[in-house]
Structure 1
């Protein structure tokens, strides 16, 4: 027998728990369940266990709109974020509605009954859930396998090779030589976190990344807490940080040369005198064409100044028995090589979505407001911003879905579906040059060239376009 709920949420990470908490608050009459493929909640913040794991967005915007972040650090460690997410689940009763170790394999919309039939495996057992509305809060990467390029000679290396997504529980690295391949958020977190115990940590990058040092603590947030109620202090800090991040992004896009010079100057001040900053910290692309990396209190630069860490900009010729041979002819000796080489993008957690038995061809669909897909009924997904905190968009998606469900109840509708309009031009789903996006862009839905099909990647725009938009917009059809 199948179990039926009004709303079935896939994923008990940051997005899924936020979605369920919002649903429980705004639509208390709706029944729901959260299906989680792993044995614990928390998503990314439970999965990643590498040294120093932390947020790369400030917690006043990565935190939920409805639950103030009360931690001391703005760029918080992974354990604190996990505690925050799970505390939210307990406070809103979400933890009682999570089913763990439930791997969703497929979801088929049945038009006759206006329900989703969702196939789930639990160990050796298979079962089916049915739901009136399906909500994918699965993130956009493969939790089972990170991305690792093919490295020639990998099998020759006598040391240990580790991907951060699958960090060994008892990896001994004290006193050892470590090479971290990569230059993104994970790499710039790992290098200073391991530098104190390791003999030497080398960040090997093919090309530099823009890096900005920020204070680990937000003085305004800490000051406001002393004079304002928690929620009010949180709201003010949140808006301030959103505005700052938005301004930096917009200036980076409109005046890239100026921002490039400012970032170079800031980096140069924190590096040893005479350091080749243009070799190791001057990317070829413009600021925010890829995600800008934040480092708390300049910890990466401190590790470099101390001599415990170094940056090498080169390409890999092959792995050797002792380490890595570079195209320049040099060899980096290592006891441990960490491949911080990125993620594998995966749509809807790898669930096979179909419509009346016909498999969904995602690239032929178009994203409506970045949260629903054209011609796919009673379905929503949560994907955050690429240029700002993930949760800013996740909160807006949750509010919108609740508004849609409320409207369906008011008008007696069983289905809601965005209908693609003729003449809307197609654009890539994400206008972003990150490797994980470029590797998979042909597998994603499209976005349109006009609203509500075009994604703005702007919270200030989406507050109007998503939170305050009319549902009877000529695109959403209720029936």
Structure 2
């Protein structure tokens, strides 16, 4: 490998890079599903490069180590949420959190990636210097600031804050005699056996919590302001089981993965082109699952089109079963205030509760909330435009992983990681030090995400923009991205390359 990206520390200092700190060719921020996958691709495609993974927490796994609430599981099938390079061998397509955490950890151990992880390193700032073509990264560790330097910054920190969830405040909370908890910060050892529980929310977290808690609670009520689309999927795919009997594990996984990808894309296309048909089918399926005792028109008929917000998946219809059995119920109303015995709703009804779970959503935090400067000037992501959903205009030598909203996160993460390898290899061949996406002023801005979900709308002023034409568009289409990301030219005229000393 040419040494363009391997300049030693003395040469970097001489070129103007701030002194101090360990040096790496690539720094990956985040040791979750995306970060471990990024490291695997980097090791395989650029074996001569040095790298480290900075992880703020004390364990790898990201989302799947953070969330510990009852029943936590994937809301995508594991044949596409799993890595393309490592078969998911568990029979369950919808997997529980601990199983996913073990899958990530085993991937890291088997590839020797775990030796590159620096735990307890929270990245708080990153300063780009064009003179030295280098990032000075500041991480908090053990109560002090640790400087590190890198040629390339790879953000795999997800899209939401690990430290803060979206937490609306309600009148009368101080009068409530029970306990209020949040799924993101689930109290260890919380005893809800025989208790009355109200779960506030109707998204993926809520539909997971309700059937899981209903197994032991006296009763669980899902309180929602408005309904979501809820679809039952089998926890194990029969065709995947048959393929595993007939074929080697890797081949069976690949075929299953592609079948799921194609089916999901077709279903999504139908939902977007014929939303009335898709809506009717989804509601009919829910009605059959719930039976005549549930008011489906009120509780499971959204007022928006399918995939304007993410569709909730319930494995083997567990939510519907809990409602049919009377262990759980749904209330569609708004909270007027907390009262000592529970929640007073705007309709005048009181929901009795010993525990209230506020599954009210995430708080978006782009690129981990890191304070970024470029040649001494503050960089704000919401002022930038997204290049292929991977780079931000005006931000050199930096890639961020951002997955799909209508499919598994890892599908886009894998494409991004493979593209980063292509980019780094291109830069080494051409002996260039800097790459930056230059925004064409003629490209009209558009929202980064087309979702109407609350967490997206709350963050619309924090997210970058996408553009009105390629390569500034953020496609929610895996096959299209395969063509533009995996096969498209690196030197496409939008990416500009240069040597250290000045921004190209």
Give your verdict on TM over 0.5: yes
Aligned equivalent of 1:387:
406
Correspondence for 1:429: 448
C-alpha distance in structure 2 between counterparts of 1:129 and 1:423, whole Å: 37
Deviations 1:323-376 (A, max 9, x none): 000000000010000000000000111100110121102222110000001121
2:371 alignment partner in structure 1: 352
Gaps of 5+ in 1: none
Aligned to 1:291: 310
Distance 1:387 1:155 in 2: 39
- Which residue of 150, 157, 160 corresponds with 1:141? 160
Name the structure 2 match of 1:306.
325
Determine if the alignment matches structure 1 residue 279 to structure 2 residue 298: yes
**Residue 130 in 1 paired to residue 149 in 2?**
yes
Query: In structure 1, what is the Cα distance between the partners aligned to 2:467 and 2:222?
Result: 39
- Deviation at residue 422 of structure 1 after TM alignment: 2.7
Give 1:371-450 correspondences, 5 Å limit.
371-450=390-469
Matched with 1:269 is: 288
Alignment of 1:109-258 (within 5 A): 109-258=128-277
- Which whole-Å deviations, capped at 9, do the CAs of 1:201-258 have from their partners, x for residues lacking one? 0000000000100000011111111221221111111111111111111111111110
In structure 2, distance between residues paired with 1:49 and 1:127: 30
2:466 corresponds to 1:469: no
Q: For 1:64-117, what per-residue CA distance to the aligned partner results, in whole angstroms no more than 9, with x for missing partners?
A: 000000011000000000000001111111100000000111001001000000
| Residues in 2 aligned to 1:300 and 1:175: alpha-carbon distance in whole angstroms | 19
2:49 to 30, 34, 38: 30
Deviation at 1:274?
A: 4.3
Q: Which residue matches 2:124?
A: 105
Q: Distance in 2 between matches of 1:153 and 1:285?
A: 32
In 2, distance between residues paired with 1:21 and 1:120? 23
Of 453, 461, 466, the residue aligned with 2:472 is: 453
Equivalent residue for 2:4?
A: none
Q: Which of 13, 24, 35 is the aligned partner of 1:16?
A: 35
1:54 aligns with 2:73: yes
Q: Which residue of structure 2 aligns with residue 333 of structure 1?
A: 352
After the TM superposition, list the runs of 4 or more consecutive aligned residues in structure 1 that deviate by more than 2 angstroms: none
Classify the secondary structure of the residue corresponding to 2:147.
strand
Whether the 8 Å contact between 2:293 and 2:324 is mirrored in structure 1 is no
Count of aligned residue pairs for this structure pair: 479
Indicate conservation of the 8 Å contact 2:436/2:497, yes or no. Answer: yes
In 1: Cα distance, 2:455 partner to 2:496 partner: 34
State the match for 2:381 in structure 1.
362
Structure 2: distance between partners of 1:274 and 1:195? 18
SS of the residue corresponding to residue 356 of structure 2 reads strand
**Residues 274 and 333 (structure 1 numbering): CA distance in 2 closer, same or farther, change over 3 Å?**
closer
- Name 2:92's counterpart in structure 1: 73
Equivalent residue of 1:477, what SS?
Answer: strand
The alignment's TM-score, normalised by the length of structure 1, stands at 0.99
Secondary structure of 2:343's counterpart equals strand
Q: Deviations over 1:390-435 (max 9, x none)?
A: 0000000000000000000111011111111131110011111111
Measured after TM superposition, the shift of residue 272 of structure 1 is: 2.7
Could you list the runs of 5+ residues in structure 2 that have no partner in the other structure? 1-19, 499-504
Task: With the length of structure 2 as denominator, give the TM-score of the two structures.
Answer: 0.94
